[in-house]
Structure 1
Amino acid sequence: MDAVAFHLSPPVKDAVCKQNITTALVPVGCTGMLQPLDTAVNKLIKDWIREFILDCELEQERKGKTRWSVSDRRIMTTWVIARAFERLKAKKDLIEKAFLDVGITVRPDGSQDNLIRIKGIDEIDFTGWETASEITIKSQELVSRLCDEEELSFGPEDELDEDILIYSLKKMTIPQLKQLASRNSLTVKGRKDDIVEQLQQYYAKERSQNDCITVQIDVEEDVFTVD
């Protein structure tokens, strides 16, 4: 589970416990490295959805359809997502490997630690972890995710989803956008659309220059940060 407030609430903990499920908590800021959905599933699902949307649109065009209503799009979206999840259900080995790669389902005796494959783990310094004092994280400091309280991490093999980025930026207020632009040494002048476009170009450039970026909305200020 991710370190978001609702995951750590007593009702969720009790429900998980009653199902005899052993939980693994992904630390704040590590979602892109340790969450199987992020490391192995999300990009595949998005690619499949794009594929099925294109197939559907081409098929309808062959039948003479040139205009799409909101209702048409809703029906198509439901259909393509269902197809994508049907394909995912057939990829059980992929799901099992994803949990194994990040160390969630390895044997607790350490005999399978050699199977762990976490991108970028060699660059992390674990020195002194045995003696480190316990860290208390306040609820307002927990990672909040774009739109549905989820973090977006983009590794070197992933595509920066422009649609999600633009949608999330447009949800912000002008003061929030200006604060975000100021944090990244960008101009705060112009209309809201101008600032959004500026930030979009900034994050696209960051993605091209770095192996991995993380974009998240802070809980209290609702502002993006880039790692």
Structure 2
Amino acid sequence: MLEYVEKVLIPSIDEIKDQMDLPVRQRALVICDVFRAHRCASVIDALTNARIEHVFVPAGCTGELQPMDLSVNGDFKKIMKDQFTEWYADQIAKDNTKTVELKLSTMKPLHARWTIQAFDKIKEIKDTVLLGWKKSGLL
């Protein structure tokens, strides 16, 4: 989690601040569930030092309070599932076989590509993203 915060989250927030012409000292907000890795001291320190506020959604409440769970995650999972289903059907049709190779060396590159494609599709439906924020009461 610390590596994610340092290598992905902080640079992404800095890039967004730059794109939006916000001051470097502008605070950001991260909403996390109470998973242990999100609550460890090193992660909280890294967020605080980067001027990132953090809020923890109480256990069992992400379905009602986490903006992404209220809108985007369902669409994202559906897109991923649809891509897998289409690929799997193509494998069956192409080889006319009842077995499909699902080893990690096969699936990892596909999963990475499907994830990027799913993010690209989600970016196209900004109203869906905003809907989660509205449902959570944060917007």
Shorter-chain TM band? 0.5 to 0.7
Structure 1 residues 49 and 65: CA distance shift in structure 2, 3 A: farther
Match of 1:93 among 116, 124, 127: 127
Q: For residues 23 and 39 of structure 1, what CA distance do their matches in structure 2 show?
A: 19
CA shift, 1:33, in A, is 0.8
Partner in structure 2 of residue 103 of structure 1: 137
Structure 1 residues 4 and 77: CA distance shift in structure 2, 3 A: closer
Partner in structure 2 of residue 134 of structure 1: none
Preserved contact between residue 56 and residue 76 of structure 1 (Cα < 8 Å): no
RMSD: 2.5
Q: For residues 3 and 77 of structure 1, what CA distance do their matches in structure 2 show?
A: 26
Partner in structure 2 of residue 68 of structure 1: 100
Instruction: Tell me which amino acid in the other structure corresponds to 2:57.
Output: V
Greater Cα radius of gyration, structure 1 or 2: 1
Instruction: Tell me which amino acid in the other structure corresponds to 1:96.
Output: L
Identical-residue share of aligned pairs (%) = 28
> Aligned to 1:99, what secondary structure does the other structure show?
helix
> Which structure has the highest helix share of the two?
2
CA shift, 1:43, in A, is 1.9
Instruction: Tell me which amino acid in the other structure corresponds to 2:86.
Output: D
Instruction: Tell me which amino acid in the other structure corresponds to 1:25.
Output: F
Matched, 1:14 2:45: yes
Partner in structure 2 of residue 42 of structure 1: 73
**Cα deviations by residue, 1:123-147 (Å, 9 ceiling, x for unpaired):** xxxxxxxxxxxxxxxxxxxxxxxxx
CA shift, 1:46, in A, is 1.8
Partner in structure 2 of residue 28 of structure 1: 59
> Aligned to 1:43, what secondary structure does the other structure show?
helix
Count matched residues: 105
Structure 1 residues 59 and 5: CA distance shift in structure 2, 3 A: closer
Q: For residues 53 and 75 of structure 1, what CA distance do their matches in structure 2 show?
A: 12
Instruction: Tell me which amino acid in the other structure corresponds to 1:19.
Output: A
Q: TM-score, normalised by structure 2?
A: 0.58
Q: For residues 93 and 15 of structure 1, what CA distance do their matches in structure 2 show?
A: 31
Match of 1:78 among 109, 112, 115: 112
Between 1 and 2, higher relative CO (CA 8 Å, sep ≥ 6) is seen in: 2
Preserved contact between residue 91 and residue 100 of structure 2 (Cα < 8 Å): no
